């Protein structure tokens, strides 16, 4: 057999497995080796190349890094590329493609507004932050400090805010601007969830002090907004990619918080949305991520259902809602949508404008939750409520840890 | 500046239409052999690039545009033809994949059957659907190469690394289409079209010996192939 045929056979074998999370898993390591061979991971390798090639190399490294981070998040495992390999200098420039060409000899200056590369810069910064917040392979001890984690997120918000500046109304009203900004909002919220609810155990650390109602609201809001992006017809051209999040994490945070929440009104408002998300992911996550993530999620869901059963016993209203959701799940997407939209919690305005330019120096997310996110973490001492909620989350990540096929979190 | 034709001519139908094969040319550079292999064009023409940036979408039909992207660029989504399916192309894709001859002959067959318009259309679809969200390439460079036959980053169009990139781009483009769009363009189910382009992309990567032949272009091709290979066949069904 010729070597080229063997290579083709290898590609076929690696990418035709049914488990989506495994389709690129093995080949990514090959891509990383190829990247190492041409010096993509060496900062010194780009000092003597022309601006065009420098930018091409940055883009390529970030593309491999993104696939690596996504594969790791989908499987709740560790990435191959660690944060220390990705200094700020590897982030591509925020430029338009017209700003640079093969013949460019002068260094190109990054723009401070919305460009062809804004989405790329956003996802590049996100994957670096995600590596700091999410993975135990990070040797950075600061990753264990709650305040440092929050500080890194705040810096991230400050860095991405200028990317969405534009005076061009056509740009601001474009589908692509809406998609990019909506995705950024979800990413910031998602990173906020990761800041206080990491995927690794924080051995010896006290529980983060948070406003638990706000954390539950934020988790549910991420589920809601992620779904909106997927369903909005403006996003059809980019729907193929399937989103940048591991939505199961937001679902897990919501369920864990729900299990320890005693606000009946809030629980009844959140439960239908959580159920819809659960049923939807139940069709997708086990196939895409394998059983490693979903089995612990099923156990968490059972705990949440028991909690809601106890609420039900105090009032019959929730029964009707639960039944409606179940019907929606069985009878198709349209009914799910109807139920979800009908039961949008009162803190979410019906006409949430996604096209308002951000104000101030920090990239703001959803105005209705602004106070919640700003004050999510407090300087107060942890309370028993914090400890109970943290224990609820640790139960879940311990469960993830013990599931076969998942790397141990240190 | 040159323009890409808006209307695609219908290709001859059936597997035995080889004698009729006269695929329409975009710039006379892709029909017989590769007259674009002039390596003296190692430095791209910047004016042409800028023109392409502003007139990127080869198929403009405001009635079907989805939205506006960027600072006035990508003004409309590349439209898809509504006319009869590309039966011969479909047959070649499927038959080639079913028997898998040598990788080189597979690629040659696909290249021959795929008209310049199809290549330009797939490039436009890539630029609109894939590039913004998974930005690996420099759009003016890849567009000038695919639609005008310019060298890519100083490499000739017949360079195997560049050919691997071409097919990775085409594979990504068809993977990004909805099932109905794919049916309109090729006349067969998306899963079958994607399988054809996936096989072509794999063959091109294999021919370029991508595991040992390391360079920026082949790695671009490999990464774009990977992101496409990770997708479901029909995202529109989700």
User: Which chain A residues are closer than 8 Å to B210 by Cβ?
Assistant: 7, 34
- Both structure tokens of A314: 């105090």
Whether residue B135 lies inside any domain: the answer is yes
Whether residue B52 lies inside any domain: the answer is no
Q: Looking at residues B18-24, what average pLDDT do you find?
A: 37
Res. A331 pLDDT band, cuts 50 70 90: very low
Contact A11 B202 (CB under 8 A): yes
Task: Decide: residue A331, CB within 10 A, 0-12 exposed, 13-18 middle, 19+ buried.
Answer: exposed
Task: Say whether pLDDT at B28 is over 50.
Answer: no
Q: For the ranges A125-134, B56-65, B149-158, which has the lowest average pLDDT? A: B56-65
What residue in B sits closest to A93 (Cα-Cα)? B135
Q: Give the separation between CA A142 and CA A10, rounded to whole angstroms.
A: 41
Which domain, by its residues, includes B144? 85-238
Buried b (16+ CB within 10 A) or exposed e, B172-188: bbbbbbbbebbbbbbbb
User: Which chain A residues are closer than 8 Å to B202 by Cβ?
Assistant: 8, 11-12
- Mark residue B74 as left, alpha or beta (left: phi above 0; alpha: psi -120 to 50; beta: remaining): left
pLDDT at B108: 47
Q: Give the separation between CA A216 and CA A266, rounded to whole angstroms.
A: 9
User: Which chain B residues are closer than 8 Å to A170 by Cβ?
Assistant: 68, 72
Task: Say whether pLDDT at B98 is over 50.
Answer: no
Q: Which of B153, B198, B222 sits opposite A31 (nearest CB)?
A: B222
Q: Which of A2, A38, A241 sits opposite B214 (nearest CB)?
A: A38
Mean pLDDT for chain B? Answer: 64
Q: Give the separation between CA A84 and CA A90, rounded to whole angstroms.
A: 11
- Mark residue B234 as left, alpha or beta (left: phi above 0; alpha: psi -120 to 50; beta: remaining): beta
* B189 vs A382, more confident: B189
Q: Give the separation between CA B119 and CA B23, rounded to whole angstroms.
A: 12
Whether residue B31 lies inside any domain: the answer is no
Q: Which of A4, A55, A163, A177 to mutate to test the interface with B (most CBs of B within 10 A)?
A: A4
Q: Which of B46, B69, B136 sits opposite A63 (nearest CB)?
A: B136
Contact A102 B72 (CB under 8 A): no
Mean pLDDT for chain A? Answer: 78
How many structural domains comprise chain B? 1
Q: Give the separation between CA A277 and CA A188, rounded to whole angstroms.
A: 20
Q: Which of A15, A23, A27, A34 to mutate to test the interface with B (most CBs of B within 10 A)?
A: A34
Q: Which of A63, A102, A177 sits opposite B141 (nearest CB)?
A: A102
Whether residue B178 lies inside any domain: the answer is yes
DSSP A308-339: HHHHHTT-SHHHHHHHHHHHHHHH-HHHHHHH
Q: Give the separation between CA B32 and CA B41, rounded to whole angstroms.
A: 19
Whether residue B101 lies inside any domain: the answer is yes
- Both structure tokens of A257: 């918080």
pLDDT at A286: 63
pTM of the predicted model as reported, rounded to 2 decimal places: 0.75
Tell me which range, A61-70, A138-147, B16-25, B43-52, is most confidently predicted by mean pLDDT.
A61-70
Whether residue B134 lies inside any domain: the answer is yes
Tell me which range, A36-40, A361-365, B97-101, is most confidently predicted by mean pLDDT.
A36-40
Whether residue B222 lies inside any domain: the answer is yes
Q: Which of A11, A38, A74, A333 to mutate to test the interface with B (most CBs of B within 10 A)?
A: A11
Residue A371 CA from chain centroid, whole number: 21
The tens digit of pLDDT for each residue in B135-179 reads 999 999 999 999 999 999 999 999 999 999 999 999 999 999 988
Half-sphere exposure of A81 (CA within 13 A, CB side): 31
The tens digit of pLDDT for each residue in B196-226 reads 888 889 989 988 888 788 899 999 999 999 9
Contact B46 A242 (CB under 8 A): no
Task: Say whether pLDDT at A294 is over 80.
Answer: yes
Q: Looking at residues A57-72, what average pLDDT do you find?
A: 92
Residues whose CB falls within 8 Å of the CB of residue B158, separated by 6 or more in sequence, listed in order:
B34, B37
Contact A240 B235 (CB under 8 A): yes
H or E element at residue A388: helix A384-402
Give A210's strand partners: A377
The pair phi, psi for residue A319, each rounded to 5°, is -60, -45
Half-sphere exposure of A231 (CA within 13 A, CB side): 14
Whether residue B17 lies inside any domain: the answer is no
Contacts across the A-B interface (CB distance below 8 Å) = 190
CB A164 within 8 A of CB A114: yes
Q: Give the separation between CA B229 and CA A410, rounded to whole angstroms.
A: 32
Tell me which range, A120-124, A384-388, B47-51, is most confidently predicted by mean pLDDT.
A120-124
């Amino acid at each position: 057999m010729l070597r080229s045929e063997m290579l083709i056979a290898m590609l076929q074998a690696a990418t035709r497995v049914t488990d989506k999370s495994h389709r690129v898993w093995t080949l990514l390591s090959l891509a990383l080796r190829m990247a190492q061979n041409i010096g993509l991971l060496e900062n010194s390798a780009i000092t003597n190349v022309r601006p065009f090639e420098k930018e091409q190399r940055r883009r390529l490294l970030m593309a491999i890094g993104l696939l690596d981070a996504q594969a790791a998040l989908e499987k709740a495992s560790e990435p191959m590329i660690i944060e220390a390999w990705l200094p700020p200098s590897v982030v591509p420039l925020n430029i338009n493609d017209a700003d640079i060409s093969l013949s460019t000899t002068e260094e190109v200056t990054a723009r401070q507004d919305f460009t062809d590369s804004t989405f790329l810069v956003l996802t590049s910064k996100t994957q670096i932050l995600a590596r700091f917040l999410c993975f135990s392979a990070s040797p950075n001890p600061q990753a264990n400090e709650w305040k440092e984690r929050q500080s890194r997120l705040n810096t991230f918000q400050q860095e991405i805010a200028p990317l969405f500046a534009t005076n061009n109304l056509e740009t601001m009203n474009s589908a692509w601007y809406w998609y990019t900004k909506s995705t950024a909002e979800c990413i910031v919220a998602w990173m906020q969830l990761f800041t206080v609810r990491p995927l690794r155990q924080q051995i010896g650390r006290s529980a983060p002090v948070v406003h638990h109602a706000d954390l539950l609201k934020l988790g549910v809001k991420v589920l809601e907004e992620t779904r909106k992006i997927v369903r909005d017809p403006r996003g059809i051209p980019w729907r193929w990619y399937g989103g940048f999040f591991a939505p199961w994490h937001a679902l897990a945070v919501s369920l864990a918080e729900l299990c320890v929440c005693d606000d009946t009104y809030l629980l009844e408002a959140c439960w239908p949305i959580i159920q819809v998300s659960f049923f939807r992911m139940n069709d997708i996550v086990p196939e895409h991520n394998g059983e490693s993530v979903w089995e612990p999620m099923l156990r968490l869901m059972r705990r949440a259902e028991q909690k809601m059963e106890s609420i039900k016993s105090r009032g019959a209203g929730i029964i009707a809602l639960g039944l409606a959701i179940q019907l929606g799940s069985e009878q198709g997407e349209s009914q799910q949508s109807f139920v979800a939209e009908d039961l949008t919690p009162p803190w979410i305005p019906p006409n949430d404008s996604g096209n308002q330019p951000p104000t101030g120096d920090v990239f703001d997310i959803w105005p209705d939750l602004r106070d919640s996110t700003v004050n999510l973490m407090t300087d107060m001492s942890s309370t028993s409520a914090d400890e109970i909620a943290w224990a609820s989350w640790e139960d879940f990540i311990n469960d993830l840890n013990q599931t076969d096929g998942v790397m141990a979190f240190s | 500046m040159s323009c890409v034709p808006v209307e695609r001519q219908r290709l001859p139908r059936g597997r035995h239409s080889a004698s009729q094969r006269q695929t329409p040319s975009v710039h006379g550079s892709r029909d017989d052999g590769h007259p674009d292999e002039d390596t003296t064009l190692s430095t791209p023409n910047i004016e042409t690039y800028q023109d392409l940036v502003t007139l990127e979408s080869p198929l403009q039909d405001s009635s079907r545009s989805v939205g506006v992207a960027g600072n006035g660029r990508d003004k409309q989504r590349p439209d898809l033809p509504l006319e009869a399916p590309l039966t011969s192309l479909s047959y070649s894709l499927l038959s080639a994949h079913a028997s898998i001859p040598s990788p080189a002959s597979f690629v040659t067959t696909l290249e021959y059957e795929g008209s310049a318009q199809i290549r330009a259309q797939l490039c436009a679809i890539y630029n609109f659907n894939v590039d913004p969200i998974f930005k690996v390439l420099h759009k003016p460079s890849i567009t000038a190469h695919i639609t005008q036959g310019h060298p890519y980053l100083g490499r000739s169009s017949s360079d195997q690394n560049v050919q691997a990139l071409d097919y990775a781009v085409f594979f990504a483009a068809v993977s990004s289409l909805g099932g109905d769009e794919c049916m309109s363009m090729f006349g067969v189910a998306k899963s079958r079209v994607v399988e054809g382009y996936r096989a072509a992309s794999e063959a091109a990567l294999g021919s370029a010996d991508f595991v040992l032949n390391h360079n920026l272009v082949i790695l671009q091709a490999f990464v774009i192939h990977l992101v496409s290979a990770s997708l479901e066949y029909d995202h529109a069904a989700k």
